[in-house]
Structure 1
Amino acid sequence: MVEGPRRLVVTGGPGSGKTSLAALLAVRLAIPHIELDGLYHGPNWTPTDPEAFRASVSALTAGPAWIVDGNYRSKLGDLVLARTDLVIALDLPRPVVLVRLLRRTLVRMARRTELWNGNREEWRNLVSTDESRNLLLWAHRHFGRYRARAIAVERASAVGGPAAVRLTSPAQVDRFVEHLMRLAGR
C-alpha cells in the first residue's frame, strides 16, 4: 500500500473551508487535527503570548502525523512548513467564500456557538465597518492577499519549497480528498 502525506497544512482565507477540510481529513486519515485559531485566541479573543503559541504549536507538530489548519505564518515563521509533507492551499472563488462565510457566521450567531475558550461571534460585528471585527469585510478586503499567498505556495513547491497543491473549486477539493484516500488505501 502506498501511504500519502501524514503531516499536512491547510491554508486559505476565512470561509474557504480550512477547518472543515482539515477535520474531514483528520477523521479519514486517522491523524490529529490542530486548529491554530483555537490555540491562538484566548478568552475574550485575547491573543496567546507569541512564545507560548509557538511552543504549543511546536509540541503539537513534533509528531509523525497531523493536520494543521490556519494562517499564522507571521507568528510562526516556517515552524510548521518546515515539518509538513504537503500544503493544501484553498483558493476558492470570492462569491463561494463570502456566501459560505456569511452562512457560517449567521448559524454560529443564531446558535450562540462557542468557538474557542468561550469566544462567540457577535451580531454587532456583522454590521461593523471595522474589518478587525467584521470577518466578512476582512475576507472581502483581503481576498487578493490570500489568493496571492496560495499562488506563492504553489510556485514555491515547484522550486524546492514544501510540496503543495492549490485547489480552486469545491469540486477540485472533493476530487483531491478522494485522491488522498486512495493514496492512504482508504
Structure 2
Amino acid sequence: MSTTKATHAADVVPSRILLYGATGAGKTTAAVRLGEKLGLPVVLADEIGWLPQWVSRPVDEQIALVDDAVARDAWVFDSAYSSWRERVRPRADLIIGLDFPRWLSLLRVTRRAVRRVITREELFAGNRETWRQLLSRDSIVVWHFRSWRRKRRAMRAWAADATGPPVLLFRRPRDLERWIDAQPAHDQRDAT
C-alpha cells in the first residue's frame, strides 16, 4: 500500500468511497465487500452506464444518476466512467486505487469474461457476454489494454495531489483484503 495521504485515510472511517483501477482489478468485488462491511450503499458504474442489449445509456442520463448518488451522505462507487468521474472524485472521503500489476488484472478480466460466456451469467440490465463480444475489437479484454495505462496514471496523480481526497494505493490484493478486514463493521461503529 502506498502511504501517500494514507495517515489521514487510515484514521478516518470514510462514508463516501471511490474505488478505481484497471478493468479486471476487482473493483466491484471489493466495493460490494466494503459496502457490506461498512453498511454503505454500493453504486455500480456499469449499472449506470449500460441499458439492455449493451446499449450505452446517454451521458446526460448517466450524469443525472451520478449526481443523485453523490448527493447522498454515504456511498461506495465501484468505479467512475471518464465522462462523470470528476463528479464523484471531489465528493469522495477516500479513493482506493487498485494499482495491481497489469498481468493480474488481465488474467482476472480474461478468466471472468470466459466464465461469464460459458455460464451465460446475467449482468447489469440483463446483458450477457458472448463469444462474439469476447473476440471483437470492443471486447472487455481489448478495453483492458486500451485503458490500463491511463487508469494507472490517473490514480497515481490523485495520490500525489495534496489538494484532493486522500488516496490509498494498493499494489497487491492481499493488502487490500487486510485493509478491508481491519475496518470496523457498521454494527460495531454504531455501538460506540
TM-score by length of 2: 0.85
Residue 77 of structure 1: how far off its partner (Å)? 4.7
Paired residue secondary structure (1:78): helix
* 1:19 and 2:48 are equivalent in the alignment: no
**Which protein has greater RCO, CA pairs closer than 8 Å, 6+ apart?**
2
Q: Are the structure 2 counterparts of residues 184 and 3 from structure 1 closer, same or farther at C-alpha, using a change threshold of 3 Å?
A: farther
Deviation string, structure 1 residues 114-162 (Cα, Å, up to 9, x no partner): 111121111122222x1xx211122134322221112112112xx2111
Paired residue secondary structure (1:88): strand
CA distance in 1, matches of 2:90, 2:148: 25
CA distance in 1, matches of 2:165, 2:12: 18
- Structure 1 residue corresponding to 2:91, chosen from 83, 91, 108: 83
Residue 181 of structure 1: how far off its partner (Å)? 3.1
Identity %: 32
CA distance in 2, matches of 1:82, 1:146: 17
CA distance in 1, matches of 2:149, 2:135: 22
* 1:171 and 2:171 are equivalent in the alignment: no
Residue 82 of structure 1: how far off its partner (Å)? 2.1
Q: Which runs of 4+ in 1 moved over 4 A?
A: 182-186
CA distance in 2, matches of 1:46, 1:68: 21
Question: 8 Å contact 2:38–2:185 — kept in the other structure?
Answer: no
| Partner of residue 7, structure 2 | none
- Structure 2: which 5+ runs fail to align? 1-10
* 1:149 and 2:124 are equivalent in the alignment: no
Paired residue secondary structure (1:181): coil
Q: Are the structure 2 counterparts of residues 93 and 63 from structure 1 closer, same or farther at C-alpha, using a change threshold of 3 Å?
A: same
Paired residue secondary structure (2:87): coil
Q: RMSD value over aligned CA atoms? A: 2.0
Q: Are the structure 2 counterparts of residues 9 and 77 from structure 1 closer, same or farther at C-alpha, using a change threshold of 3 Å?
A: closer
| Partner of residue 6, structure 2 | none
CA distance in 1, matches of 2:185, 2:125: 36
- Structure 1: which 5+ runs fail to align? none
CA distance in 2, matches of 1:167, 1:63: 26
| Partner of residue 94, structure 1 | 102
* 1:140 and 2:148 are equivalent in the alignment: no
CA distance in 1, matches of 2:39, 2:185: 14
Q: Are the structure 2 counterparts of residues 146 and 78 from structure 1 closer, same or farther at C-alpha, using a change threshold of 3 Å?
A: closer
Residue 20 of structure 1: how far off its partner (Å)? 0.3
The 5 A counterparts of 1:61-76 are: 61-72=70-81, 74-76=82-84
Quick one: which amino acid aligns to residue 70 of structure 1? S
Q: Are the structure 2 counterparts of residues 98 and 85 from structure 1 closer, same or farther at C-alpha, using a change threshold of 3 Å?
A: same
Paired residue secondary structure (1:102): helix
